[in-house]
């Protein structure tokens, strides 16, 4: 049996989608008990690259992101925490609303959780 990893955390400024896709495909998350990462939308790239006009996410962008997050659920991960990152706040040009282009997400691998909902130790 491979060594279990208690917690995997990454913040890779929009590259998380490629990394997550690879990890789901190659089963490298099978021995990870918990995962935490910051997810970014395309709007983040515009702010990060100091563009005056941010790139807006398309419906297809959101479908890809949701499908990758559902991929975690298929691997028996369950989200137990999420929060907006206040540093990723932006005003939409088409509405007088504030939106966020990044969120912190935390998941637990239910394969490592006992029936009383505690994470199993090695």
**Average pLDDT score, the chain:** 84
Cα–Cα distance for residue pair 65/23, rounded to 1 Å: 14
| Position 19 pLDDT exceeds 80 | yes
Partners of 102 in beta bridges: 40
What pLDDT score does 81 carry?
Answer: 94
Residue 31's alpha-carbon distances to 4, 22, 34, 62, 112, in angstroms, are: 5, 15, 9, 28, 9
Token reading at 112: 């490592």
34 pLDDT band, cuts 50/70/90, is: very high
| Position 93 pLDDT exceeds 80 | no
Note the pTM of the prediction, 2 decimals.
0.81
b/e sequence 20-34, b meaning 16+ C-beta within 10 Å: beebbeeeebeebbb
46-68, pLDDT tens digit by residue?
666 665 555 677 788 888 989 99
């Amino acid at each position: 049996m491979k060594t279990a990893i208690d917690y995997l955390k990454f913040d890779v400024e929009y590259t998380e989608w490629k990394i997550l896709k690879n990890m789901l495909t190659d089963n490298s998350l099978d021995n990870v008990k918990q995962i935490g990462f910051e997810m970014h939308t395309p709007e983040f790239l515009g702010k990060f690259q100091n563009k005056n006009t941010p790139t807006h996410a398309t419906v297809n962008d959101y479908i890809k992101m949701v499908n990758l997050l559902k991929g975690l659920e298929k691997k028996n991960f369950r989200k137990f925490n999420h929060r907006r990152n206040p540093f990723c706040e932006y005003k939409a040009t088409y509405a007088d609303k504030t939106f966020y282009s990044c969120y912190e997400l935390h998941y637990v691998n239910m394969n490592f959780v006992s029936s009383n909902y505690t994470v199993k130790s090695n």
